Structure 1
Amino acid sequence: MRGLTRHHDGSLHDTGLHRPISLGELADDVRAGRSFRARDASTGEDCTYQVLAVVLARETVWPGPAAEQGGLSLLQVAASAAARVPPP
């Protein structure tokens, strides 16, 4: 599971790879079925669902290549993944 930190400006940082991560890269991960946990940098609180909501909103407005090729939408993949992950 990928660990992320969300900063006050909304930017995301991969805590395992020690580098920034874009919403597009995270959307690709979700589409591929990979899971993540996000924590707020200032409070340490879990913000996974808030980050997922931002990714889903972004993909709804600007759909990725899977939607154009008749593949699963990011919303379908995320709903499936959320059903497998227990709440924090």
Structure 2
Amino acid sequence: MSNNKKELLLTYFEDIITKDIEQRYNVRESKKLRAIARFYLTNTSRPVTFSSVAKMIGMNTDTAEKFSSYFEDVYLIFCKKVFLEG
């Protein structure tokens, strides 16, 4: 991939994170938000739980779930809920 394409993708990523999420939802934990976004974008199709993401990033599960819902709201990711009978 050429440098221009990489720069364009990074610009899109930063705009989505900054304008569509941080400003809209008044997110103060910018580094953790970006860390979760990078994790999701580099681990597509990998089953994860909010608690495993939270442990990896170093935050509580509720915050990881909330941040993930922000990504869904701006169509950056789509979470598939798994129903387990038990």
TM over 0.5, yes or no?
no
Instruction: Report the TM-score, using the length of structure 2 for normalisation.
Output: 0.36
Whichever of the two has the greater Rg, that structure is 2
Q: Where is the helix percentage greater, Structure 1 or Structure 2?
A: 2
Q: Where is the strand percentage greater, Structure 1 or Structure 2?
A: 1
Instruction: Report the TM-score, using the length of structure 1 for normalisation.
Output: 0.35
